[in-house]
Amino acid sequence: MAARKSAQKSNISAEELTKYYREMLLIRRFEEKAGQLYGMGLIGGFCHLYIGQEAVVVGLEAAAEEGDKRVTSYRDHGHMLACGMDPNGVMAELTGREGGYSKGKGGSMHMFSKEKHFYGGHGIVGAQVPLGAGLAFSDKYRGNDRVTFTYFGDGAANQGQVYETYNMAQLWDLPVVFVIENNQYAMGTSVQRSTKSPALWKRGEAYGIAGEEVDGMNVLAVKEAGERAVAHCRAGKGPYILEVKTYRYRGHSMSDPAKYRTREEVQKMREERDPIEQIREMLLTGKHATEEDLKAIDKDIKDIVNKSADFAKESPEPALDELWTDIYAADVPQKSA
Ligand SMILES: Cc1ncc(C[n+]2csc(CCOP(=O)(O)OP(=O)(O)O)c2C)c(N)n1
Ligand SMILES: [Mg+2]
């Protein structure tokens, strides 16, 4: 399947546009706040921000249904917020506090929510890809029609385990959407420098896996492509690959000065392609919202984010005896005799 045109002109309701605006803005403001807290020394270890890539998760979550699963890498705060996890719990985990999703023991890269079917948060590049196929296998085995979104980056796309997974997923018709978030860089290596065949989604053709390239700065285009992918999986036709072309505005992690690209490149992307600005424009020019309406949303989002930072700061550090909990599963399924 070839790359599709953007969905800019589709008939989208004011409610829907407003929803995407809110959801993307929440991620943007949350990440900005996380960046500030990191600068203040309140977040330790690594912290990989998602700023610039918001349309990817918001568009795909719009194509998801209750019970669908998601698994991703360390650049995971956006995925958690987009699937409905509580900003308080995410921020408290970033700051290593008891009120965090992993009781302050996991940090930025290791958070989970059974309730929201969010399976992490993984620090090893590409490791989540076979896990995603495993989650999809469990749904296939149970005979339901759930789908698993398995997100990974352009850098991860050069890993061997991705192709082993493609083979098994297609062999067993697993309901998994492989989402390649191509933000054009790995840690500091551009796709041009690292990759011989830059159409990453086409690599699925070797296994007979359908796929397409998507404009990842356009939330409507992402949602449409997501719906095609999900319909394919739910119909029992096996996996689907979406290569979502996006861009990260910040460094790879908070400690990256990003010397491998120019300031002008980042600036141009921000000015011409920003996913939130695109929706803001549509809301205003389509007279779906006034500047005042948008200001009220901005204020609301700012409040939610500020509250999450306060919650995180007020939450205590985990007690020492927590060191000995959550190591082994309490309930291990037994093989029947
Ligand atoms: C197996 C492994 N090798 C190397 C690293 C170090 N590392 C962390 S992120 C990263 C780059 C991955 O880039 P990409 O897949 O494009 O994801 P992005 O950071 O752009 O979201 C590397 C090399 C790691 N965490 N795991
Ligand atoms: Mg990348």
pTM of the model: 0.95
Is the CB of 247 inside a 6 Å radius of any atom of ligand 1? Answer: no
Of the chain, the end-to-end C-alpha distance in Å amounts to 47
Alpha carbon 183 to its chain's center = 12
| Ligand positioned closest to the Cα atom of 250 | 1
Closest ligand 1 atom, residue 187 Cα: 11
Distance separating alpha carbons of residues 70 and 148, to the nearest angstrom = 5
Is the CB of 228 inside a 6 Å radius of any atom of ligand 1? Answer: no
CA of 189 to the centre of ligand 2 (A): 9
Name the residue type at position 220. L
Fold of 21-311: Rossmann fold (3.40.50)
Q: What is the DSSP letter of 203?
A: G
Three-class HEC string of 206-251: HHCCEEEEEECCCHHHHHHHHHHHHHHHHCCCCCEEEEEECCCCCC
CA of 76 to the centre of ligand 2 (A): 13
Q: 241 vs 17, 67, 212, CA distance in Å?
A: 26, 20, 6
Q: Which of 187, 247, 248 to mutate to test the pocket of ligand 1 (most atoms within 8 A of CB)?
A: 187
- Residue 234, exposed/middle/buried by CB under 10 A (0-12, 13-18, 19+)? middle
CA of 15 to the centre of ligand 2 (A): 32
Query: What residue segments make up the domains of the chain, in order of their start?
Result: 21-311
Please report, in tens digits, the pLDDT of each residue of the chain (337 residues total): 433 443 445 578 999 999 999 999 999 999 999 999 999 999 999 999 999 999 999 999 999 999 999 999 999 999 999 999 999 999 999 999 999 999 999 999 999 999 999 999 999 999 999 999 999 999 999 999 999 999 999 999 999 999 999 999 999 999 999 999 999 999 999 999 999 998 999 999 999 999 999 999 999 999 999 999 999 999 999 999 999 999 999 999 999 989 999 999 999 999 999 999 999 999 999 999 999 999 999 999 999 999 999 999 999 999 999 999 998 888 777 776 5
Nearest CA to ligand 1 atom 20: 186
* Residues at Cβ < 5 Å from ligand 2 ion: 153-154, 183
* H or E element at residue 90: helix 87-94
Closest ligand 1 atom, residue 186 Cα: 13
Distance separating alpha carbons of residues 319 and 104, to the nearest angstrom = 10
- Neighbouring CB atoms inside 10 A of 215's CB total 23
Nearest CA to ligand 1 atom 17: 153
Distance separating alpha carbons of residues 82 and 62, to the nearest angstrom = 9
Tokens of 240: 């689907």
| Ligand positioned closest to the Cα atom of 46 | 1
Distance separating alpha carbons of residues 69 and 59, to the nearest angstrom = 15
CA of 11 to the centre of ligand 2 (A): 32
Distance separating alpha carbons of residues 119 and 128, to the nearest angstrom = 9
Q: 327 vs 99, 128, 170, 179, 189, CA distance in Å?
A: 18, 20, 34, 30, 35
Residues in the chain: 337
Bridge partners (DSSP) of residue 150 are 71, 178
3-state secondary structure of 69: strand
